[in-house]
Every structure is written in C-alpha cells, then in structure tokens.
Amino acid sequence: MQAKENRVEVEIGGEPYILRSEAPAEHIKRVARLVNNKIKEVRVRNSRLSLVKATVAAALNIADDYLRLKDEHEEMVKLIESERVK
C-alpha cells in the first residue's frame, strides 16, 4: 500500500514552492519555515548577500547544526550502551 503524497504550498526566500512528500503537511510546513527563517537570519547579518548565497549559507548552517546534533546523539547512544554493559 502506497503512502499518501501531500502537496503543500510554501514560501522560501520570497519564492513560492509546492513541496510534495509523504510526510504530514504540518511537518512539511515546519521544515519550510526552518529553511526560510535560516535564510532570513543570514540576510539580516549580511543584507548584501544575494538570495542564492544566503541560501547556501543557510544550508551550511543547517548542515552544521544537524552534524553537531548527530555527533551528540551518537555519543549519548555510546554512553547509554556502555552503561548497559556494566
């Protein structure tokens, strides 16, 4: 059985997009808001950046946040597993 594909219209960087995903519509909107807010943060810090450069900077910031959290998660899992073994 195939999951239902949701189509959600969002605005990112002042541009409209229709996003399609099997994720719930609210999750899609939440992801779009995060990306849009990161782009806005970058542009507030440097208003002379083009939208493309601000978007790349925002993507790098999001990737950095993700990788730091992933590393923390992996460390926590290792700690929990080592405690279980004791």
pLDDT number for residue 24: 97
Per the prediction, the chain carries an average pLDDT of 95
Give residue 85's pLDDT.
Answer: 80
Per-residue pLDDT of 19-58, as tens digits, reads 999 999 999 999 999 999 999 999 999 999 999 999 999 9
Whether the CB-CB separation of 51 and 70 falls below 8 Å is answered with no
Largest CA distance in the chain: 56
Give the integer Cα–Cα distance in Å for 80 and 10.
40
Question: Which pTM does this prediction carry?
Answer: 0.84
Domain spans of the chain? 6-85
Residue 1 clears pLDDT 90, i.e. is over it: no
Length of the chain: 86
